[in-house]
Amino acid sequence: MYVAVKGGERAIDNAHRLLAHARRGDPAVPEVAPAQIREQLTLAVDRVMTEGSLYDRDLAAIAIKQARGDLVEAAFLVRAFRSTLPRFGASEPVDTAAMQVARRVSATFKDIPGGQVLGPTFDYTHRLVDFLLEAGADVPEPARAPADETAMPRVTDLLGHDDLIERNPPGDPDAPVPDLTREPLDLPAGRDLRLQNLARGDEGFILALGYSTQRGFGRTHPFAGEIRLGEVEVELFSEDLGFAVPLGDITVTECQMVNQFKGSATEPPRFTRGYGLAFGHCERKTMGMALVDRALRAGELGEEVKAPAQDEEFVLMHSDNVQATGFVEHLKLPHYVDFQAELGLIREIAGRQAGDEPLKEAAE
């Protein structure tokens, strides 16, 4: 019965106790430790850090455990923790060209300076359930080779030398960095703000929107110019010292899409860019992000805006899964005051129609 929701404090306390019990599962099975999640469910940790907008593998691992593996709930836990942290500055831009690359592939050139590096990827695995994992077999050592000292320039930079792709606008080191988490989203948004939004946006939502552009809803003719995964150094400019000091390394995935562009009245035909960057190893997310980034540039490039992925307000207002899950799930909260008002209205209308039209019913 719906009145049961007037349960009060004891019901809530008991629900929380039951939740903790359900989280633990069968006590005969060893409890999972956050360190195991951090080391063995790394892609879940990466997603939670990305959508939680906080690079902290240990915190994300605890959140995943606390959330019983619900990654959206885990991202929410990380976000709520994040909002209590003080903000002491913005880092220098990270240089992904100087990345310690663990994986790097290009779909536009067969060979590139620094080579193609497959790295740890599911791409060419056959998706056969590996029952050896059930028993826990020894893992063979990975193949090793001496580190290659060849530089790995970004593919889009190579294209840029020949002026075949649009130039990135020059960075202005003095320009303020907009911060989605500290200011309300104001539309129309600049590309920097849009990319912030997409980076923390729900992986499934971004994926589906990117997919929709491939199927013709805002087609952008993309090529995966380059996807690279590895460690980059984060630096913070210190006012006291007068120079940037390294804070540490983070792992990121970067995707640069190269898209056809047929030119406009003022611009010659050349390739254009779509960009994706996120914490950890998350190619699906960054590729979707790069597709949506390019689609959202339709207005800027003089293309007709007609597909959902090109619609800035639609995309930016609905990408955040912490917001979305909260509002969708708030329908679980009692609404009986409003429902009562609607019940009264429906009864009134039904009553009036029953009273107004007895003859019509009789004639039939």
Partner 1 sequence: MTVHQTASGYNFAYLDEQTKRMIRRAILKAIAIPGYQVPFASREMPMPYGWGTGGVQVTAAILGSGDRLKVIDQGADDTTNAVSIRKFFEKTSGVETTTHTADATIIQTRHRIPEKTLTADQVLVYQVPIPEPLRFLEPRETETRVMHALEDYGLMHVKLYEDIATHGHIATTYAYPVKVEDRYVMDPSPTPKFDNPKMNDCAALQLFGAGREKRIYALPPHTKVVSLDFEDHPFEPTKFDHACALCGATHTYLDEVITDDAGGRMFVCSDTDHCEERRAEGHRGELLGEAPAAIAGAAE
Peptide bond into 30 cis (omega under 30): no
* CB of 253 vs partner 1, minimal distance in Å: 24
Q: Give the Cα separation of 364 and 359 in Å (integer).
A: 9
* CB-nearer residue toward partner 1: 22 or 331: 331
- CA proximity to 199, closest of 63, 293, 64, 89: 293
Task: Please identify, using beta-carbon distances, which residue of 1 and 135 lies nearer to partner 1.
Answer: 1
Instruction: Report angle CA 265, 276, 327 to the nearest 5 degrees.
Output: 105
Residue 64 three-state SS: helix
- Residue 326 amino acid letter: G
Q: How far is the CB of 324 from partner 1 (least distance, A)?
A: 8
Of residues 203 and 320, the one with the C-beta less far from partner 1: 320
64's tokens: 């995943």
**Biggest alpha carbon distance in the chain?**
93
Closest approach of partner 1 to the CB of residue 245, in Å: 24
- Terminal Cα distance for the chain, rounded: 40
Q: How far is the CB of 189 from partner 1 (least distance, A)?
A: 11
Q: Tell me the CA distances in angstroms from 80 to 54, 83, 277, one per residue in order.
A: 11, 5, 23
Min dist. Cβ of residue 357 to partner 1 (A):
14
Residue among 14 and 260 whose Cβ is closer to partner 1? 14
Write phi, then psi, for 100 (nearest 5 degrees): -80, 100
For partner 1, the closer of residues 94 and 317 by Cβ is: 317
Residue reference for tokens 């409890």: 31
Q: Which is nearer to partner 1, 15 or 247 (CB)?
A: 15
Which residue in this structure is represented by tokens 């619609």? 311
Burial 314-350 (b: 16+ CB within 10 A, else e): ebbebbbbbebbeeeeeeeeeeeeeeeeeeeeeeeee
Q: How far apart are CA 295 and CA 305, in angstroms?
A: 9
Q: Rounded to the nearest whole angstrom, what is the least distance from the CB of residue 1 to partner 1 in the complex?
A: 6
* CA separation for the pair 277, 292 (Å, rounded): 12
Q: Which is nearer to partner 1, 36 or 83 (CB)?
A: 83
Nearer to partner 1 among residue 4 and residue 147 (C-beta): 4
Q: Which two tokens stand for residue 182?
A: 């500290």
Kindly list the strands in the beta sheet with 243-259, ordered across the sheet, starting from the edge strand earlier in the chain. 100-105, 222-238, 243-259, 272-279
Please report, as ranges, the residues that interact with partner 1 according to CB under 8 A: 1-9, 11-12, 76, 79-80, 82-84, 86, 181-188, 313, 317, 322-323, 325-330, 333-338, 340-345, 349, 352
Rounded to a whole number of angstroms, the minimum distance from the CB of residue 14 to partner 1 is 12
Residue 345 Cβ, how far from partner 1 at the closest point, in Å?
5
Query: Whose Cβ is closer to partner 1: residue 82's or residue 221's?
Result: 82
Minimum distance of partner 1 from residue 349's CB (angstroms): 6
